[in-house]
Amino acid sequence: MLYGISLYIMGSFILLLTGLSSFLFGMYFMMYDYVIFMDWEILTLNSCSVMMTFLFDWISLVFVGCVFIISSMVTYYSEMYMGSDMYKGRFYFLVLMFIMSMMMMIISPNLMSILIGWDGLGLVSYCLVIYFQNFKSYSAGMLTVLTNRIGDVAILLAIAWMMNFGSWHYIYYMNIWDDDWMIYLVLLVILAGFTKSAQIPFSSWLPAAMAAPTPVSALVHSSTLVTAGVYLLIRFSNLLQNINCSFFLLLSVMTMFMAGLGANFEYDLKKIIALSTLSQLGLMMSILFIGYPILAFFHLLTHAFFKALLFLCAGLMIHCMSDSQDIRHMGTMVNQLPFTCSCFCISNFSLCGLPFMAGFYSKDMILEMMSHSYFNFFIFFIFFVSVGLTVSYSTRLIYFCLSYNMNSFVFQNYYEEGIMMKSMILLSLLAIFSGSVLSWLMFKCPTLILFPFYLKVLPLIFVFLGGWLGYELAMIDFSNSLFYLRFYSFTYFSGFMWFMPMFSTYMVYSKFFLLSSSYDSVMDSGWGEYLISSGPLSYFVKMSKVLTWYQYNNVKVFMLLFIFMFMIIML
């Protein structure tokens, strides 16, 4: 408390004002095609200069505005959620550092200053994932930070590689393409983006990061950590047009499909929402590699609003269920938590792409532009099936948590706290209206896309088919849980993210332990120990002995030298 005002409430108010003003400035910059570029030179060595640079264009300002608006609601929500926590002050400042790292990454056009925000995100996310100090959190934190380190190394290598070009500003390379050198830079940036946005094969850390407190999950999975990779690739999108992205498109489409399939066999509420984030990230990456970066950015913004709302609703449900995240323990919650469940349904409908919700505008446009592009039937099919799977797990989730299921715990304290409810109101409005408003603002000139009728209604057909499948899955769970045992191998494979967590953990490090132990015995404990660690020490010990002997016997030494020199001269 500061002068009787809670830090959380004061911080959320400042963030909300800053976010709204930043969003309005972004709209102004977009209307007048206006850009502010601020450059501060820190160090120059020969032709190499280190600069702190800020780029304020409509993309960075609108995104910063959205991040701050969501962060303000999450911070306000945390006032109640973390109310009984001993270290709520520490949590507040960690979240603030997290938001500032993301802001630093967004407004930097320079890869050197992007690295500050990029590394800040990785470090603070580790501190937040291990916030509840138990073995599971430590394991999840280690998996998160080590996977993200791969992306950090890729950024460092890209910085080193940019020494070939003369500047670290990505805006200088928009229209330059040098085949021999630029391809490596693009591949390093894609690797960094893939690790941060958890695309295959780096997907396993994203559901593991659910060990963090729910407000952090709402931030991480809506607008901060996982979207950093997509945002970086949107900024470098001009360079992507010069290479064949079909392989990367395949990886991102498979990520989308894998996450959608896995969420249908998952029972952990937060993990289901995490897999839905992974699916949406795959969608953004896919449309980015197809060649529509502004569409990817549009979906990034709309997704941020409804996903933050989804997490806040889930957090309140978990809070009421004595911190149980298993959806099989929930049921008929719509009777106890009517407002929360209404917001939960709004965010789920938006996620599914129900017509005229926020998610519909971006998803429908993405599907139409994908249908319009020249990719094969496989990509086309997986895209539409993934949309159906999104609706499927959302319907299943609604049935499990809100309706029929009577497996709820007894003696639960169902209580909708006022602060938590207020934080959901703004996000609910944004989850409904942000899609239409942003589409009118971002796409000033309407584009006419002509399709046959069956192709135009195909997204809606898959939405309703997915809803029916989700209903069937929910009913199977209620009536006959032995159904899954008949297809146990398939359900285990799908629900375990295609064994990716195993590949990321002990299947990797068991082999590397052997390699590292042999390196250790040869280098660190062998020649490295002898030449580097022990070598200088033994040399200086011998030298000091020689000098000590010389100090004690210097008169004798001088006399001997004098006699020796005299004899040489006489000869």
Q: 566: domain range?
A: 535-570
Residue 545, domain member (yes or no)? yes
Residue 542, domain member (yes or no)? yes
Start-to-end CA distance of the chain, whole Å, equals 93
Residue 551, domain member (yes or no)? yes
pLDDT at 405: 62
pLDDT at 1: 53
Residue 565, domain member (yes or no)? yes
Q: Residue range 260-265: average pLDDT?
A: 87
pLDDT in tens, 128-182: 888 888 888 888 888 888 888 888 899 999 888 887 777 777 777 766 666 677 8
Percent above pLDDT 70 for the chain: 93
Mean pLDDT over each residue of the chain, to the nearest integer: 83
Given a cut of 90, whether residue 53 has pLDDT beyond it is no
Look at 485 and 55; give whichever has higher pLDDT: 55
pLDDT in tens, 89-98: 888 888 888 8
pLDDT in tens, 380-422: 889 899 989 999 989 888 888 877 666 656 666 677 777 888 8
DSSP string, 277-329: HHHHHHHHHHHHHHT-HHHHHHHHHHHHHHHHHHHHHHHHHHHHTTT--BGGG
Q: Length of the chain in residues, anyone?
A: 571
Given a cut of 90, whether residue 498 has pLDDT beyond it is no
What is the band of 245 on the pLDDT scale with cuts at 50, 70, 90? Answer: confident
pLDDT at 86: 79
Instruction: Look up the pTM and report it.
Output: 0.85
Is 378 exposed, middle or buried (CB count within 10 Å of its CB: 0-12, 13-18, 19+)? exposed
Look at 191 and 8; give whichever has higher pLDDT: 191
What is the band of 64 on the pLDDT scale with cuts at 50, 70, 90? Answer: very high
What is the band of 253 on the pLDDT scale with cuts at 50, 70, 90? Answer: very high
pLDDT in tens, 340-375: 889 999 999 999 888 888 888 888 888 888 888 888
What is the band of 459 on the pLDDT scale with cuts at 50, 70, 90? Answer: confident
Residue 566, domain member (yes or no)? yes
DSSP string, 29-52: HHHHT--EEEEEEEEEETTEEEEE
Q: Measured between alpha carbons, how far is 182 from 293 in angstroms, rounded to an integer? A: 20
Asked which of 24-38, 276-290, 446-460 is least confident by mean pLDDT, the reply is 446-460
Q: Measured between alpha carbons, how far is 407 from 401 in angstroms, rounded to an integer? A: 10
pLDDT at 483: 63
Given a cut of 90, whether residue 324 has pLDDT beyond it is no
Percent above pLDDT 90 for the chain: 12
Residue 392 half-sphere exposure toward CB, CA atoms < 13 A: 24
Residue 134, domain member (yes or no)? no
Q: Which residues contact 272 (CB under 8 A, 6 or more apart)?
A: 263, 266, 327, 393, 397
pLDDT at 22: 92
Given a cut of 80, whether residue 35 has pLDDT beyond it is yes
Look at 56 and 223; give whichever has higher pLDDT: 56
Given a cut of 60, whether residue 3 has pLDDT beyond it is no
Is 527 exposed, middle or buried (CB count within 10 Å of its CB: 0-12, 13-18, 19+)? exposed
- Residue 223 DSSP class: T
Number of domains in the chain: 1
Given a cut of 90, whether residue 21 has pLDDT beyond it is yes
Q: Residue range 509-514: average pLDDT?
A: 69
Residue 552, domain member (yes or no)? yes
Residue 543, domain member (yes or no)? yes
pLDDT at 485: 67
